[in-house]
A and B are shown apart, each in its own frame.
Chain A
């Protein structure tokens, strides 16, 4: 089971690179949806069966795999944009940076003082690498929808870290994480709407005109 989990985590890492390297928004959203589904399966592989676990799995697959991607695809369709053009940083440099960060996170995770039973998993490095990829998407892309995607990847990274603690994790923390996601999506939804209404464009760099002088 552990090896299967590790293989799935490799898949998660590869999906990070897909989102870093593609300019097509729909493709990127689908990739993140697949990542969400994988994350939903993971808890079942590493923890013994319990109804609590079933609940978590269902909610995560439903929210991360279907609800949020559907909302995003709809936003993309209604805004009639297909591609992220002119990112702040090109796709190849972003991919390279992503690779560097992934390597660094593996190095860093090895140094962390962890419990012996967590030592051999790929969870921690995968978590940090995903987190960094999310940050990269957030910092390099212009379109508000790309920002949401970056935020989702970031959230996925945090979620992977939480997986190690799923049994010890109090419900409050889970609820907090889901709430976080919800709020994040809402805020971004509002931002998307406001930007496109105010500037008839989804370019977040236009937000600079809102800056107080």
Chain B
């Protein structure tokens, strides 16, 4: 066993190093042509992700943990890295999604088309992968912060791949500000943890009592710092523009994995504590519910395909938080079933969301590649030209809606079962919280279905709305293969959830060691996993049967082509079709109180022949534009006096240091 584990950790370390160095040959001038360098980097990234995945899988199956001390002379005591089931669980999406995205990028962002930024993008892609892997491996505050910053900065450079465009730069700047605000929280978090545990090393799971005010401060700061990265409402403001403006495979990794690293941080921090008070669970549950419902409501109002997917990430992070909330409420009320169901639901949703969201972003990338626009109202009929992409995007869409027989259903079902355990349980506040949260999750699921009906209908069905943006070509195999892989894993988890039940149980045990002492319930007994398999298989059989029957019926009849939604007009035009905004109009107006949609109605001049006019509407990032920016402006005006300190005179800046130094010396002198 021990031997096996050494191999696992060696594999993961090797994978991390390989990923970090994958883009380095491109930086040496004159060594390789850009295209060859990109090819080499792709091969190295694929090797890294294969190694990392094997390592993570071995570590998960063996289920024990190992810690290594780094020979690292820093002033903060020893630095440690380690692997345990929780790290291994998060390493799986990290290496899987980055590997898929790297292969995709070779065609999607080919060196021939983007000779100016491919070096930068390829290099930082590897660095970001290594940074994420290092974050989940770190076992002390200092190495964690190092890895965290490497990850955050590398992803800044990835977001700003096309830094010649002003909107890309704006998105990058917003990301930079928010990510560093979050890091500021983490800089406060680790010293507080140090106060609690007396060491910079991470405390063992469940070793700190959660009742002290200091513990509450740690909890709130972790929620702020990591929640900023995870994109929980209302800290999500960086997320839509960053995801929309990055290259699609980068958005896939950001949405699929980087947000999860934020979730990892919260799960890791929560795992330090025992005897968690009820309000922790309730607040996480409430945050999750708000993120889920408001996130999906914002998504419905979007016209930009990638922005829409970005808001869905917020929604799914909300679902993950709801699962965590169930687990925490269970911990507070002493219900091991709730703890296990909530935690394993949340963790499984972490993996599932990484899979289907990456699949959706890659699919969206293929469509954008083929049509040349992100604007959904200009697309249409893409299924004709991109049949495989359409099929795979459909798989992702069904999965994200939480419908059987795909993986999203399994994780959401686990969280629902957790709610039901809470409702049936001891009663009191826990039951009330669970009873309030269950309908929220149901609402999220329903709205997600509405939203993806809109996306699929507008983008893939119907006929092209603008000739210039007619989908031209199917994506090449390096773009389809990663999508196929992700789609099939979605299906496998959806059909055979018992495959992941064992590892999930082990991961939950490392996070919630209390489960060992109380009744250690296996996940299989709490959730009808076999039933899911049977029902899923039946459903799949039914779908294929209906498809087969439909195809046969269609083959025998004469088909005529017409414009979709032609409605019997004599001269229908593609513009007559439902648009993204008209489809979402009703739901957007229902949620107008948070979305604040803006529409610019057409001016119809009086007279017999009215002039040409135009109508446009959009849903702004309301939290950013209506809350943060006005508040910051007010703050700016209030503190304009302080800005005199920043006068641009270099000498005065040095003087500030000198004065600080002298004051410190004087203080220690007297």
| Interface presence of A140 (CB below 8 A) | yes
Counting chain A CB atoms within 10 Å of each CB, the highest count among B647, B650, B669 belongs to B650
Q: How far is the CA of A204 from the CA of B647 in the complex (A)?
A: 13
Q: In the complex, are the beta carbons of A147 and B650 less than 8 A apart? A: yes
Q: Convert B634-665 into 0s and 1s, putting 1 for each residue whose CB lies closer than 8 angstroms to a CB of A.
A: 00000000000011111110110110010001
| Chain B residues within 8 Å of A209, by CB | 648
Closest to A111 in B: B669
B661 CB to closest chain A CB, in angstroms? 7
Are B648 and A141 interface neighbours, CB within 8 A?
A: no
CB atoms of B648 and A211 under 8 A apart = yes
Is B669 a contact of A207 with CB atoms below 8 Å? no
Interface residues of A in 117-134 (CB under 8 A from B): 128, 132
Q: How far is the CA of A140 from the CA of B651 in the complex (A)?
A: 7
**In the complex, what distance in Å separates the CA atom of A150 from the CA atom of B657?**
14
CB distance from A209 to the nearest CB of B (A): 7
User: A211 touching B654 by the CB < 8 A rule?
Assistant: no
Contact between A208 and B648, CB atoms less than 8 A apart = yes
Question: Whole-angstrom distance between the alpha carbons of A104 and B655 in the complex?
Answer: 18
- Residue A161 interfacial (CB < 8 Å): no
Residues of B within 8 A of A139 (CB): 651-652, 654-655, 658
Say whether, besides A139-B655, A204-B651, A107 and B646 are in contact (CB < 8 Å).
no
Contact partners of B661 in chain A: CB under 8 A? 135
Q: Is the CB of A142 within 8 A of B651?
A: yes
Check A107/B651 contact, CB under 8 A, given A135-B657, A135-B658, A139-B658.
no
Task: Let me know if B73 is at the binding interface, CB within 8 A.
Answer: yes
Contact partners of A204 in chain B: CB under 8 A? 649-651
Q: Known contacts A108-B669, A139-B655, A139-B658; decide if A211 and B650 are in contact (CB<8 Å).
A: no
Q: Which residue of A lies closest to B655 (CB)?
A: A139
Shortest A37–chain B CB gap in Å is 26
CB-CB < 8 A to A147: which residues of B? Answer: 650
Docked pose: A172 CA to B658 CA in angstroms? 27
Task: Tell me if A205 and B73 are in contact (CB < 8 A).
Answer: no
Collect the chain A residues with CB atoms within 8 Å of residue B646's CB.
Answer: 211
With both chains docked as a complex, state the minimum distance between the C-beta of B434 and any C-beta of chain A, in angstroms: 50
* CB–CB B651/A88 < 8 A: yes
A1 contacts which chain B residues (CB < 8 A)?
Answer: none
Closest Cβ–Cβ distance, residue A106 to chain B (whole Å): 12
Contacts of B648 in A (CB 8 A): 207-211
Closest to B74 in A: A172
Residues of B within 8 A of A34 (CB): none
Q: How far is the CB of A53 from chain B (nearest CB, A)?
A: 20
What does the 1/0 interface line of A134-152 toward B look like (CB < 8 Å)? 0110111110000100100
Q: Does A170 contact B (CB under 8 A)?
A: yes
Closest to B651 in A: A139
Chain B residues with CB under 8 Å of A140's CB are: 651
User: What is the CA–CA distance of A99 and B665 in the complex, to the nearest angstrom?
Assistant: 17
Q: What's the Cα separation between A138 and B648 when bound, in Å?
A: 15
In Å, the complex CA distance between A144 and B332 comes to 62
Residue in B closest to A171 when the chains form the complex, CB atoms: B73
Cα(A170)–Cα(B73), bound, Å: 9
Question: What is the bound-complex CA distance between A128 and B661, given in angstroms?
Answer: 11
* Min distance, Cβ B72 to any Cβ of chain A, angstroms: 9
Given contacts A111-B669, A135-B657, A172-B73, contact A141 B649 (CB under 8 A): no
Question: What are 24 contact pairs spanning A and B, CB under 8 A?
Answer: A107-B669, A108-B669, A111-B669, A135-B654, A135-B657, A135-B658, A135-B661, A136-B658, A138-B658, A139-B651, A139-B652, A140-B651, A142-B651, A147-B650, A172-B73, A204-B649, A205-B649, A205-B650, A207-B648, A207-B649, A208-B647, A208-B649, A209-B648, A211-B647
Those 4 A-B pairs whose CB atoms lie nearest each other, nearest first: A211-B648, A208-B648, A138-B654, A135-B658
